[in-house]
Amino acid sequence: MLSERLRARTADLTQQVGAALGKTGLSPNFFTVLGFVAVSLNAALIAFDFLRLAGVLLIFSLLLDALDGAVARATNQMSPFGAFLDSTLDRWAEVTLFFGMGVSLSHSGSPRDLALVYWAACGSLLVSYTRARAESIGIPCKEGLFTRFERMAVIVLGLLTEQLAPAVALIAVLATLTAIQRLWVVWQHRAVP
């Protein structure tokens, strides 16, 4: 996965930033909530058709979203609730972005575009759900062609180029294929004792 490679390459920088932010006394959950608020503001910009501005700001919002884990590790404040809050708000943030894109695309009056937004949102949630459900039954399931990182990259590109409909269509198809891929991974584990 692209996100795992990027995470490995930026681990030292992330650790340094996390340590610096940890000295502020702000909790990792503060950064989790702040990242969610920032992404939600981007969704509002998308809904009002400020697509390029939303694309630029989304990059910074997503970088902000990565800080909670770095602060948690640097300050040794990792907790089950923090992980739960982070993953839950990540899903809400993604749905908020799809809502903003749906509003923006509704201006064209195309039912097809709205159907694609719905499909993309459902596919994206299923990618996350299949991993969470697999891990709840003891099967690690990080595999995936199109994880959150790739979906966010496509959204940013779609915003910067003002090509939302093709971006949403790509996410709809590839997120669905990723959810199916994860089903396959779990199915292959069925015979393993």
Range of the domain at 168: 39-64+83-191
Say which amino acid occupies 25. Answer: G
Mean pLDDT, range 79-86, rounded to an integer: 89
In-domain check, residue 28: no
Mean pLDDT, range 1-27, rounded to an integer: 68
In-domain check, residue 20: no
Say which amino acid occupies 154. Answer: V
Instruction: State yes or no: pLDDT of 192 exceeds 90.
Output: no
Number of domains within the chain: 1
Alpha-carbon dihedral angle through residues 58, 142, 125, 93, given to the nearest 10 degrees = -30
* Distance between start and end Cα atoms, the chain: 27
Indicate which CATH number applies to the domain containing 50: 1.20.120.1760
In-domain check, residue 2: no
Residue range 122-141, pLDDT digits in tens: 999 999 999 999 999 988 88
Instruction: State yes or no: pLDDT of 6 exceeds 70.
Output: no
Interhelix angle 67-74/51-65, rounded to 10 degrees, is 20
Instruction: State yes or no: pLDDT of 7 exceeds 70.
Output: no
Task: Measure the CA–CA gap between 43 and 126, rounded to whole angstroms.
Answer: 21
In-domain check, residue 75: no
In-domain check, residue 15: no
In-domain check, residue 179: yes
In-domain check, residue 73: no
- Residues with catalytic function: 90
Task: Measure the CA–CA gap between 84 and 185, rounded to whole angstroms.
Answer: 23
Distances (CA, A) of 193 to 96, 137, 138, 163, 181: 40, 13, 11, 47, 21
Per-residue pLDDT, 12: 66
In-domain check, residue 59: yes
The overall pTM is greater than 0.75: yes
Per-residue pLDDT, 10: 60
Question: Residue 47 — very low, low, confident or very high, per pLDDT cuts 50/70/90?
Answer: very high
